[in-house]
Chains A and B, each alone.
Chain A
Amino acid sequence: MTRLVRGEIRKLFTTKLWLWLLLGAFAITAIFMSFTIGFDGTEGNPNPSLSTETGQRNLFAVAGSAGVFVLILGIIGITGEFRHQTVTPTFLATPHRGRVVISKLVTYALAGIGYGVAVVLLAIAIALPWVSARDIDLSLTENGIPGTLAGVVAGVAVYALLGVGLGALIRNQIAAIVGALVYLFIVEGFVSALPTIRDYYKYFPGGANSALVGAQQPGVTLLEPWQGGLLLVAYGLVFATAGTWIAVRRDVS
């Protein structure tokens, strides 16, 4: 299994995809943080102020948006094998296909931790100088911020699992990516906004992720961070198990 994981890591780093998606993760983190800090305290902004505990936690929680790029990384990590037909040599080298899926889950979870740490470092590098320049006290060790930062890393890593699981389930790369994005940005948006339905938002992947990073949205109740984290891992494993179950049975032709 170590050899398989090392092989997957090698696949990941012998194309440039990881770099482009890391730049994307940096860009979305930088943009969202700039908006959060830049519009802080302006009239009509419903979000909690940066001088509050919640406001500070929410600021760092936006780094969790980078998870969408890791989700795409995970999806391409497995659907790319089908798109470029490298799945044939991959399954020839490892006829027990479940082991291939497991090694991808491990590899992309590790990569997700790397991305998570990278965006957290970027978030800190943006927030500390900018927020203190506005005369707001910001300490990384207070106001539950350590928990939020750990939650961002965990959440981003779990999105990689979700991506691999989803990719195993939906082998068509475009369909898997478009489906995931439509779900995240449209379906989850509706669910969190509609009365009655939004009571269940906490059980959706987006809600679980919000809980994990300790973010709060007006009018939405969330699970405890650890519950959110476990729920996200469960989603990833359910997708991956279903995807594996299908991958083992489907013909490769």
Chain B
Amino acid sequence: MTTEEGRIEVSGLTKTFGTVKAVDNLSFSVPTGTITGFLGPNGAGKTTTLRCLLGLVGPNGGTATIGGRAYRDLARPAETVGAMLEASSFHPARTGRNHLRVYCTVNGFPDRRADDVLDLVGLGKAANQRVRGYSMGMRQRLGLAAALLGDPRVLILDEPANGLDPEGIAWLRRFLRTMAEQGRTVLVSSHVLSEVEQTVDNVVIINRGSLVRQGTISELADHHGHSVIVRGPELDRLAGVLPAEIEVERRDGALRVSGLTTEEVGHLAFVERIELHELTTERGDLEDIFFALTADAGPVDHFGGTP
């Protein structure tokens, strides 16, 4: 596999529904073999972007490609990209196994593949049950199984954690990790950063159809600065000797210092002979950063209906 094969490239993508600009000149890229979180509040344009990428929605402008090709130009799409878009794309009267077997037939895979992927997502026991009787979590797993049918190098998952219980979310995290360890490119959308925070390498944050930030998780935290937390019996004296332009905040019997490193604070305390009991770095809270970046979300549908 060349490094370009699994690369997702979105460039200048624009899509309007009537008068609503769902995606507005959006550009970002997902390198091969990484897990990227595609984040934004509900209604930010995540689903529309992913649907454009998969050729289901025709953009008004720009391009979205996988390995340099539009989805519909892929020679064997199911073996290149596996996608899971909504948790309910199943006929309620069909069994999970038969749902997968339909797509085995269409793609020319042996029927055995259906059972393989059912086992992979832990649905083996429910294989012959009609989807009507599946819980939300089981439907999500069946959707993942369908995405894995062609053993694709690229996975595109839209809100896979929706409707999962905490156990299911933990399972999903392990699952995504395994996918990445196998060298697959994963693009996973979510409106809750904490769902994917421990799993993803990179984040692409969008709001109102436009890119807000792209980078690694640590870049995201660093960019918004970190603070030094200091504890000890003489915090007032320490605050007094800190340079005047440094921001200092009292919190729970500790001093929170922004704009200095632990080394600088420690050195200052040593020079001034101030006793310290704690000296640690506090990384910016990612959830707070995420909220700050997407604060002007505008009218948000809190019932999950994303256009």
Contacts and interface: CB of A to CB of B under 8 A. Distances in A.
Contact of A7 (B54, B93, B103, B307): B103
Contact of A4 (B88, B94, B98, B106): B106
Interface stretch (A37-45, A58-66, A91-99): A91-99
A93 B102 CA distance: 10
B171 interface: no
B91 A84 contact: yes
Interface in B85-131: 85-86, 88-95, 98-99, 101-103, 105-108
Interface string A2-37: 011011001100111100000000000000000000
Contact of A10 (B47, B54, B74, B105): B105
B259 interface: no
Interface residues of B, number: 35
Contacts of B47: 253
Contacts of B56: 88, 91-92, 251-253
Contact of A93 (B58, B86, B94, B103): B103
Given A95-B77, A96-B72, A89 B103 contact: yes
B106 A14 contact: no
B81 to A, nearest CB: 8
B290 interface: no
Contact of A6 (B55, B91, B93, B105): B105
A134 interface: no
Contacts of B35: none
B83 interface: yes
B8 to A, nearest CB: 15
Interface residues of A, number: 28
A16 B106 CA distance: 20
Interface string A106-128: 00000000000000000000000
B34 interface: no
A4 B104 CA distance: 10
Contacts of A86: 89-91
Given A95-B71, A249-B58, A253-B47, A11 B102 contact: yes
A132 interface: no
Contacts of B58: 249, 251
A80 interface: yes
Contact of B89 (A4, A14, A84): A84
A124 B47 CA distance: 55
A251 B91 contact: no
A16 B54 CA distance: 31
Contacts of A93: 77-78, 103, 106-107
A139 interface: no
Nearest to A84: B91
B107 A3 contact: yes
Nearest to A16: B93
B57 interface: yes
Interface string B165-201: 0000000000000000000000000000000000000
Interface string B63-84: 0000000011010011000010
Nearest to B108: A3
B57 A14 contact: no
A217 interface: no
A240 B102 CA distance: 23
B72 A95 contact: yes
A15 B91 CA distance: 9
A85 interface: yes
A83 to B, nearest CB: 9
A251 B18 CA distance: 13
B72 A88 contact: no
Contacts of A14: 91, 94-95, 98-99, 101-102
A252 B72 CA distance: 14
B48 interface: yes
Contacts of A251: 51, 56-58
A93 B76 CA distance: 9
B95 A92 contact: no
A58 to B, nearest CB: 38
14 contacts: A3-B108, A6-B106, A10-B101, A11-B102, A14-B98, A14-B101, A86-B90, A89-B103, A91-B56, A92-B56, A93-B78, A249-B58, A252-B57, A253-B56
Given A14-B98, A16-B93, 5 more contacts: A6-B106, A84-B91, A251-B57, A252-B56, A253-B307
The 6 nearest A-B residue pairs measured at CB: A7-B106, A95-B72, A14-B98, A252-B56, A7-B105, A85-B89
